[in-house]
Amino acid sequence: MRLSNYTLTPTQLNNAKAKVKLYKLSDGGGLFVEVSPAGQKTWRYQYRFGGSRRDVKIGRYPELGVVDARDRHFEMRALLERGIDPADARRQELTERKLRVAGVVAPADAFEAFSKRWVRERLMTRSDTDRKQVGSRLERFVWPAIGAKSLSAVRPADVLEIIEAVRATPKTAEGVRAIIQQLYNYAIQKLLVELNPALPLRGVIEVPPAEHHRHLNEVELGAFWRSIERQGAHFVTIASTKLLM
């Protein structure tokens, strides 16, 4: 991301007086301060997403100072780079905060809540198929066991119990363990925890090497080619199969 050439200073903001109509003081990179007729000063970020112009409230000045507002601006630009609408992320953040205060949902450091944040923030560059597979494994195997636990309360024994339950399918078991390990790597980067409970269990489930089908020989290739048009498939499927061969 390109650096923004910020221009506003605390002195300029402190000296900004209210006018009859609302007006803006631009800081750079889409970041600006909105001054209301009542003299209220609000940091906002204007950007383009999905072909339309949008803006999101960041916070009030002077409660949110210049440095903090620019840090928040950078975080929102980073979300935009990953294809996430900063306004949607902000609304979700505020909704979760209100629900937590009301005791309706688990705290943000609960495993399930953080895992959803991890998927949202770290897997946006993955394909839809990959994200759906990760979400499915979390929902089926992980959340029922440790979803309500805080991140710091999850122990290696908890993770072991999860993967042992699917030991009959080693590839799935190791995939689940790897998801938990990656999630905790991110939690460590966010300074939410210090230890990764999935790391000591690496290798507990041995994944057998993949067994591939052998190649067809020349006679078998010829027989396959001649049989393609007799399968009753769509002509596009037939043509595509021949092209691949």
Q: Find, among 125, 157, 158, the residue nearest to 143 by Cα.
A: 158
> Above 70 in pLDDT, residue 23?
yes
Q: Averaged over 141-170, what is the pLDDT?
A: 92
What average pLDDT does the segment 221-241 reach?
89
What would the DSSP string read from start to end of 127-159? -HHHHHHHHHHIIIIIHHHHTTSBGGG--HHHH
- Per-residue pLDDT at 88: 86
User: CB-side exposure of 219: number of CA atoms within 13 Å?
Assistant: 0
- DSSP code per residue over 185-245: HHHHHTTS-S--TTGGGTTSSPPPPP-PPPPP-HHHHHHHHHHGGGS---HHHHHHHHHH-
- Top-confidence residue, 168 or 33: 33
How far apart CA 234 and CA 11 sit, in angstroms, is 72
Residues 154, 192: Cα–Cα separation, whole Å: 13
∠ Cα 185 97 144 (to 5°): 55
Only one residue has tokens 């066991």, namely 145
Q: Is the pLDDT of residue 157 over 80?
A: yes
Percent of the chain with pLDDT over 90: 54
Residue 3 pLDDT > 70: no
Could you tell me the domains of the chain? 18-101 (3.30.160.390), 111-201 (1.10.150.130)
- What confidence tens digit (pLDDT) does each residue in 44-90 have? 999 999 888 999 999 999 988 898 899 889 888 888 888 888 988 88
The model's pTM? 0.49
Rounded Cα distance between 172 and 207, Å, is 9
Question: What is the model's pLDDT at position 207?
Answer: 85
Q: Is the pLDDT of residue 105 over 50?
A: no
The whole-number pLDDT of residue 101 equals 60
Span 160-180, mean pLDDT? 93
Helix axes 66-81, 86-101, angle to 10 degrees: 110
The whole-number pLDDT of residue 41 equals 96
Q: Sorting pLDDT into bands at 50, 70 and 90, what band is 107? A: low
